[in-house]
Structure 1
Amino acid sequence: MKKHRDRSSQDKSQQKEAGSEWGGKMLVVTVRFETKPDCIEEFREAILFQARSSRENEEGCRQFDVCQSIDEPTVFSVYEIYQDEAAFEVHKTSPHSAITRERIGDLLASRDLKVWTRISD
């Protein structure tokens, strides 16, 4: 099994000097949510509000897609693209994100968020 090299602090400081921890690349955020069985519709409304608000109010939000599993209706997936790290920070601190976090907190069985660097054009 290959071991992945952790970025050293020198690597990180060089990238920050270049303007971003991610080297100025677009960021992709994926989130897998699983709702409690009796909370599907309430979660669906809240996450659609979040997607709509992000697309309409955040200049750096390039895409915000919400999907629901056909086989497991309690499972949702979100795919977001942000222009850069600063745009993602705006998203995380936006009023609509705060509203959504409050609305969905008790509706979830699990949440798995990952942040990716977009490497394709």
Structure 2
Amino acid sequence: MLALVVSLRVKPGHREAFLEAITKNAHSTFNDEPGCHYFDVNVDTTDDHHFVFYELYTDQAAVEAHRAAPHFAKWRKAVAEHVVPGSQHNTLAETLRHHA
């Protein structure tokens, strides 16, 4: 299994539009992609414009399928509009232990 951890900061005044976009992306990813086991959207308890996503995929092919999905292209447009440039950090990690 592969975990994708994404950390980013939303532009001031863009939080509601960002939440709408990430909700659609997470929903489509989890429901339409068989290789996605979960997609959690989290907000920092001290900064309501800092978000962290935890996604779990079967393998690299599932991650690539996610990035090729039509809803992901819409998500990338939302990122360009709502996310502070340079604030997004993606980490792809091999999952050694998962508590389900």
Distance 1:69 1:37 in 2: 15
Higher relative contact order (CA 8 A, sep 6+): 2
Identity %: 33
* Bigger Rg over Cα: 1
Distance 2:70 2:16 in 1: 22
Show the counterpart of 2:66. 91
Show the counterpart of 2:47. 72
Equivalences, count: 96
TM-score (structure 2 length as normaliser) = 0.91
Letter in structure 1 aligned against 2:65? V
Show the counterpart of 1:12. none
Distance 2:74 2:82 in 1: 14
User: What are the ranges of 5 or more consecutive residues in structure 2 without an aligned counterpart?
Assistant: none
Deviation, structure 1 residue 33: 1.1
Distance 1:93 1:35 in 2: 24
Residue from 50, 53, 58 that aligns with 2:33: 58
Give structure 1 regions of 4+ aligned residues with deviation exceeding 4 angstroms.
Answer: none
Show the counterpart of 2:90. 113
TM-score (structure 1 length as normaliser) = 0.76
